Amino acid sequence: MDIKIASSEQFEIIHSIMEQAARRIKDKGSTQWAHVLHGAEAGSLKDHLHKHEVYIGIVSDEIVAFCYLTPTASQWDETLWEDVTVESTANVYYLHKLALKQGWTGQRIADKFLIGLQQKISENYSQKVAIRLDCMAEKSMLTQLYERNNFEFVARKEDVQATGFIAPFNIYTWYSS
């Protein structure tokens, strides 16, 4: 899998992948990502593309995965990470909205994407990098994905107020070498 920074010209395909993922999440009975289906994430995606903060995974010239990787903590990140320290030598990035294209789930594409992203970060940054991410604690498939791909469990945050619900969240960090 080839990992690249996305361009603004790829907005439509990336937005489509995000909507596909949001539908799968909804079909499983979750309201998480519901705002995506109402068009509320489109502006944020355009902003992240403009700032070169969207990474894509490409297989056979097809975009099959993407995520946001931002150097600035959002209000959400600050809430989850406020009491967690990071190695002072590491540049911190926050990973959000990891999503796979319809038809590519169940093939370990997310694993390949995360490993490829880690390799890309390690190659492109001479300083140590920390990638932080979070997920609902009950999402065992995601917690296993992150742990399988060298993200270290940091903490479980109880009773986190998300959009429309309260739930426990796990937070994870990966460090480049």
In the chain, domain spans: 2-175
Q: What is the pLDDT of residue 125?
A: 87
If one counts every other C-beta atom within 10 angstroms of the C-beta of residue 40, the result is 11
Write out the two tokens for 83: 């009491």
Q: What pLDDT digit, counting tens, does each position of 40-88 carry?
A: 999 999 999 999 999 999 999 999 999 999 999 999 999 999 988 766 6
For residue 111, CA distances in Å to 17, 92, 145 come to 17, 21, 7
Q: Check whether 149 has a pLDDT greater than 80.
A: yes
Going by C-alpha positions, the residue among 34, 23, 21 that lies closest to residue 65 is 21
Top-level class of domain 2-175: alpha beta
What is the average pLDDT across 6-14? 98
